[in-house]
Amino acid sequence: MFYPTLEKQLARCELTETPTPVVQLADVSPNLWVKRDDLSSAVYGGNKTRKLEYVLGKAKKLGKKRVITLGGLGTHHGLATAVYCARLGMECEVLLFDQPVTPDVRENLRAMAAQGARLRRIGPLYLTHTAWQLDPRRLDRNNCFLFAGASTPTGAIAYVKAAFELAGQIEAGEMPRPAAIYCATGSGGTLAGLTLGFALCGLHIPVHGVAVMPANHGPFRVCTRDTVEKLMAATHKNMRSLDPRVPDIKLPAIRLTHQYVGDGYGVATDAARQAASTGEQAGLRMDLTYTAKGLAAALEGTRKTRGPILYWHTLSAAPPPAGNNSLPLPAKLARL
């Protein structure tokens, strides 16, 4: 069981419908399973919604009126934040860094605008991160500055809890204990939370993060073992500050591969295209930026590892909810 005292200390907005199912993809591979976090909400699911439950809950408790975050042009995190800010009566602003423009990217931009989000295209990732980091509006207590992917020491707790959720499903016989788990990794919150969670619940299942972006962007290191380990340590410290009964354990090493990045963030690879086709045939909604690269690694894992392989699916199965489609995109974005 997850820590009940800790749960009482966390200000949580109820956004998700959990536990999400685990399903065997026997038609793809006899030892491949999927954790369907795409079904975490009928409104708009995926891994971001789990994290936003805690992040937006804390922001509301602190009286924040506006969330200012960042992501790629087609950011699903930005879209999920816009969706739930609109439902919670909060303003949302998304600073956007460049990525290859695809039909999915254009769709997400329109969907964010339809939710009333203010969109600002900055340019390269490192400039966008700098603009977000140095924004003078940080002095305004009404503003919540939210890191990409909601990957904060509060948001990552959601995936510590998700590890306990899977442990319960294994104990209930819904799936065998995985030999390894694979998840797409950008900002690192899902990987940090799962790795910490399995260590805390005593399963010690190896979780392989599949990087979807290069490690270095200008002066910033954004998707490395070191950055994810720091987030995991901060998450553990945060949990123990809220509930001293959370064990003080030796933190495990982070497993993260950049083998599947290809030519950069949002740039499709042949392996990703093949994995996306496989996933879609199995009934999963896929994207070429994150989930297809994660599934490509999991499929490779089924060929190299004995025992069950679990792919943690993080893209929402639900399309973006309808908003005000008459709201225009900024000129810089409308031309894309």
Identify the CATH number of the domain in which residue 146 sits: 3.40.50.1100
pLDDT of amino acid 220: 76
Q: Tokens standing for 193?
A: 């939370």
Same domain, 123 and 258: no
Which residue, 152, 174, 191, sits at the end of a domain? 152
pLDDT of amino acid 1: 82
Residue 240 — very low, low, confident or very high, per pLDDT cuts 50/70/90? very high
Same domain, 147 and 160: no
pLDDT digit string (tens) for 29-49? 999 999 999 999 999 999 999
pLDDT of amino acid 332: 85
Query: At 101, phi and psi to the nearest 5?
Result: -90, 120
Same domain, 267 and 294: yes
pLDDT digit string (tens) for 13-22? 999 999 999 9
pLDDT of amino acid 118: 98
Q: Is residue 286 part of a domain?
A: yes
Which residue, 152, 167, 199, sits at the end of a domain? 152
Same domain, 19 and 140: no
The residue with tokens 């949580």 is 12
pLDDT of amino acid 13: 95
Q: Which residue has the higher pLDDT, 243 or 217?
A: 243
pLDDT of amino acid 331: 86
DSSP code of residue 310: E
| Over residues 173-178, mean pLDDT | 98
Residue 296 — very low, low, confident or very high, per pLDDT cuts 50/70/90? very high
Give the C-alpha separation, 301 to 287, whole Å. 20
Same domain, 157 and 146: no
Q: What is the CA angle 275-206-155, rounded to 5?
A: 85
Q: Tokens standing for 142?
A: 């009404």
Structural element, H or E, at residue 216: strand 216-217
Which residue, 132, 152, 172, sits at the end of a domain? 152
Residue 53 — very low, low, confident or very high, per pLDDT cuts 50/70/90? very high
pLDDT digit string (tens) for 183-200? 999 999 999 999 999 999
Give the sign of the dihedral formed by CA 120, CA 123, CA 125, CA 127.
negative
Same domain, 142 and 227: no
Give the C-alpha separation, 54 to 62, whole Å. 12
Q: Is residue 330 part of a domain?
A: no
DSSP code of residue 126: H
pLDDT digit string (tens) for 149-159? 999 999 999 99
Q: How many domains in the chain?
A: 2
Q: Is residue 336 part of a domain?
A: no
Q: Is residue 320 part of a domain?
A: no
Give the C-alpha separation, 283 to 287, whole Å. 13
* 3-class DSSP assignment, residue 311: strand
Q: Is residue 251 part of a domain?
A: yes
Same domain, 9 and 114: no
| Over residues 45-61, mean pLDDT | 98
Residue 264 — very low, low, confident or very high, per pLDDT cuts 50/70/90? very high
Q: Is the pLDDT of residue 320 over 90?
A: no
Q: Is residue 123 part of a domain?
A: yes
pLDDT digit string (tens) for 200-222? 999 999 999 999 999 987 777 88
pLDDT of amino acid 218: 72
pLDDT of amino acid 7: 94
pLDDT digit string (tens) for 101-142? 999 999 999 999 999 999 999 999 999 999 999 999 999 999
Q: Is residue 329 part of a domain?
A: no
Q: Letter for the amino acid at 206? A: P
Same domain, 97 and 198: no
pLDDT of amino acid 236: 98
pLDDT of amino acid 261: 97
Provide the residue range defining the domain that includes 138. 49-152
pLDDT of amino acid 25: 97
Contact 46, 314 (CB under 8 A): yes
Same domain, 36 and 185: yes
Same domain, 32 and 123: no
- How far apart, in Å, are the Cα atoms of 328 and each of 43, 68, 84, 103? 23, 19, 20, 17
DSSP code of residue 320: P
Same domain, 32 and 175: yes
Same domain, 293 and 179: yes
pTM: 0.97
Q: Is residue 322 part of a domain?
A: no
Closest Cα partner for 158 from 329, 325, 310, 7? 7
